[in-house]
Amino acid sequence: KSGTAKPWSFFDESVSVGGRVLRAMRGNNSDRKFSDIARVEAKRRIIIKRTEESFWRSLLHWHGTCLALIARDPLFWTTIIIFIAIRIWLHVGNVPSFIVVLAGADVGVIGGFLSFFLVFYVSQCYGRFNTQYGFSMSCEGRIFDAATIAVNILPRENGLRLIRYMNAAHIAGYVGLSKDYPHSTFFTEINSHNMFLTEAEHNRMMEINMDVGGSCYRELIAWAFSEVQTAVNQGLIKEPLVARELRDLILRLRGSLGGLFDYDDQPVHFFYVHFISILTLIYLPLFALSTAVSAGSGEQTYWLSDVIAFITIVLQDIFFIGLRLLGQNMSKPYGSDYEDLSVMHYINFTWRMSNRILLSKLPTPLSRDQEFDILAKRDSVGEPWMNHEGARDPEVVVLDAEEDAGTAGAREVVEETGRN
């Protein structure tokens, strides 16, 4: 009634039903500093390279490992405390009979079922992780393809603007997708260096609100699409197939970014996550209790048995808690964890490489003599391919033919003279 409502507010993703309403409720994390994002990104790129290290050296790390996550999980310390308390109790006296009864429960069956469900859960999350990584790489590839066509077809200024819009859509997609990459710090800082958008274009994005949903990247895609149509109307693109290919690349970029939002809108079913959490919460304390009682009591208590039983508890915790945390981290790969995907690297790398393509120094005009000279000097690709006429300079082939014809004519004259 006041006239201040935006015409699209009814359909705004910040108030829509479904998954995106959660993003609006949890905030956009606008207070996250750019320096913090850059620090995590730098550490993330270092951790990626650790897969090439030796077995023993890989065990010396803490950040980016399962131990760093397990050590912060309350369930891990709960099982440790239960085990230690029961063992002390058994060393100094007898535990109540109901504790022994509980310890005698067949927890191995529960562990077997839980192992199956956890492995299936992690496998599903790993598949989602790889698919979303593929979408990110597809975004890079489509921008590179468009830049390769633009540098050969469009005037320099038209190509620069087209690729600038596509790069802007690339980063805008991540900003709207994840609260860990806020517009106020992440986009603003990178835009000040890479100049994705002019001040007027940036103001338009601020009106839409880049932090919420994909409206900004979709509008930037429309801008890029409009650049192709303008080039066609001005006669800068004369071949319909070239215009069609550019439009297809822009739409495929939109499709890849849209795929990320699709996965964000429909995560792994909460029912399944809750089911695994409940089983883990019940199983691990029972296993700790059972292992502690089984390690012996009274005169049957030995410190070596205590140590072995403690190691068993730790290994069990690492397996079950580690798998659960691994699945949770991979299910949302565009966050602030060290295990998440390198969004800042993708954006900067794509911007840098696409502009290098646009600013490529094209080779000198074709020289026939140079090409056939190179062909004659390089290693042979095989005698059947190097000895026919198509593998030699046509002019040389003609001269050779004339020389062969002259030689044949002289031979006929000599032979005729000899007969006479």
DSSP 174-237: HHHH-TTS-IIIIIHHHHHHH--S-HHHHHHHHHH-TTSTTHHHHHHHHHHHHHHHHHHHTTS-
Distance CA 124, CA 382 (A): 50
pLDDT of residue 196: 96
- Please name the residue that has the structure tokens 């409009």: 226
Q: What is the pLDDT of residue 171?
A: 97
Whole-number pLDDT of residue 398? 47
User: What does the angle CA 132 – CA 134 – CA 136 come to, to the nearest 5 degrees?
Assistant: 75
Whole-angstrom CA distances from 284 to 81, 110, 112, 261 are: 12, 10, 12, 36
What's the pLDDT at 6?
Answer: 45
Question: Which position has the token pair 């580690």?
Answer: 322
Closest CA to 170 of 12, 348, 323: 348
Q: Hey, what amino acid is at 36?
A: D
Q: Give CA separation, 203 vs 31, 198, 209, in Å.
A: 20, 9, 10
Predicted pLDDT at 9 = 38
pLDDT at 389: 62
Tokens of 286: 């029972």
pLDDT of residue 311: 95
Neighbours of 22 (CB within 10 A): 11
CB 321 within 8 A of CB 123: no
Angle at 399 between CA 396 and CA 400, to 5 degrees: 85
Q: What is the pLDDT of residue 86?
A: 86
Position 217 scores a pLDDT of 97
User: 53 in helix, strand or coil?
Assistant: coil
pLDDT recorded at residue 383 = 80
Q: What is the pLDDT along the chain (420 residues), one digit of tens a residue?
A: 344 444 343 334 444 434 444 344 344 455 689 999 999 999 999 999 898 889 999 889 988 889 999 999 999 999 999 999 888 888 777 666 666 666 666 677 778 888 999 999 999 999 999 999 999 999 999 999 999 999 999 999 999 999 999 999 999 999 999 999 999 999 999 999 999 999 999 999 999 999 999 999 999 999 999 999 999 999 999 999 999 999 999 999 999 999 999 999 999 999 999 999 999 999 999 899 888 888 876 666 678 888 999 999 999 999 999 999 999 989 899 999 999 999 999 999 999 999 999 999 888 888 888 888 888 888 888 888 777 666 665 555 444 555 555 555 545 544 555 555
Residue 99 near residue 297, CB atoms below 8 Å: no
Radius of gyration of the chain (CA): 34
Q: What's the pLDDT at 271?
A: 92
Tokens found for residue 217: 């990247």
307-312 contacts at long range (C-beta below 8 A, 24 or more positions apart): 309/83, 309/87, 310/83, 310/84
CA angle 114, 105, 319 (to 5 degrees): 30
Closest CA relative to residue 351, chosen from 132, 166, 202, 159 = 166
Burial degree of 165 (CB within 10 A; 0-12, 13-18, 19+): buried
